[in-house]
């Protein structure tokens, strides 16, 4: 083998390795961006469902306020919990921020549950069609929130797993793609809030 041929093979092998690394980096980066965007899109759906719940609350509060002897402290608790949720600035990439958001939402969910439990003592309210419609919408929204949170966690897990495997972890570090936070289950949250009542 001539020296020129050896030189050609060495440079050819070197170029091949560089191209292989480049293609690996490009492919990994594109996959990471796709997965990261999926997490972001799922997060926006979570926010949409929480916003839907927030939007239902004023109508629910207005409906129950029509009953003069309805417990004012319960209505105040719901209103304050709703205001607290509105004050939380959430960053879905930050586990602490996501936890604060989750805690505020759990407080609101608890206040709504108390409101609906108290409503059980008012037969006329339980028979009010507007109240029943709001109850059904709220129940559906709670189910959608749980579903969207599950989808967000699944997409975050897919991204987190992908960027922790070798050699993708090297590319993730180089491109600044970071692990995403998860929603954690609230204590006792294995069951959706009970928002359905007997109307008898």
For the chain, list the domains and their CATH numbers: 32-175 (1.20.1440.20)
| pLDDT computed for residue 188 by the predictor | 52
What's the rounded Cα separation, in Å, for the pair 175 and 99? Answer: 26
The pLDDT score that the predictor gives to residue 69 is 66
Q: Residue 36's Cα: distance from chain center in Å?
A: 14
**CA 189 – CA 1 distance, rounded (Å):** 72
Residue 111, pLDDT score: 92
pLDDT of residue 36: 93
**Straight-line distance from the first to the last Cα atom of the chain, in angstroms, rounded to the nearest whole number:** 96
Task: Quote the pLDDT of residue 105.
Answer: 93
Residue with tokens 């749980």: 146
Each residue's pLDDT tens digit in the chain (200 positions)?
Answer: 788 888 877 788 888 888 777 777 788 899 999 999 999 999 999 999 999 999 999 988 888 887 756 778 888 899 999 999 989 888 888 889 999 999 999 999 999 998 888 888 888 887 888 888 998 999 999 999 999 999 999 999 999 999 999 988 988 888 899 999 988 866 555 455 554 444 44
Please report the pLDDT score of residue 198 as a whole number: 46
What pLDDT does 40 receive? 93
Q: What's the pLDDT at 32? A: 93
């Amino acid at each position: 083998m001539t020296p020129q041929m050896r030189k050609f093979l060495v440079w050819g092998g070197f170029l091949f390795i560089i191209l292989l690394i480049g293609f690996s980096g490009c492919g990994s980066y594109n996959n990471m961006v796709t997965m990261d965007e999926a997490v972001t899109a799922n997060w926006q759906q979570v926010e949409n469902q929480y916003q839907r719940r927030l939007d239902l609350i004023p109508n629910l509060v207005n409906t129950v306020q029509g009953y003069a002897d309805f417990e004012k402290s319960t209505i105040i608790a719901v209103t304050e919990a709703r205001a607290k949720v509105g004050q939380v600035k959430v960053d879905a990439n930050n586990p602490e921020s996501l936890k604060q958001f989750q805690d505020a939402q759990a407080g609101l969910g608890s206040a709504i549950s108390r409101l609906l439990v108290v409503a059980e003592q008012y037969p006329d309210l339980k028979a009010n069609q507007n109240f029943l419609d709001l109850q059904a919408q709220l129940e559906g929204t709670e189910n959608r929130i749980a579903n969207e949170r599950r989808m967000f966690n699944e997409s975050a897990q897919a991204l987190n797993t992908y960027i922790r495997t070798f050699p993708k972890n090297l590319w993730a570090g180089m491109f600044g793609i970071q692990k995403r936070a998860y929603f954690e289950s609230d204590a006792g949250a294995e069951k959706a809030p009970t928002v359905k009542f007997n109307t008898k």
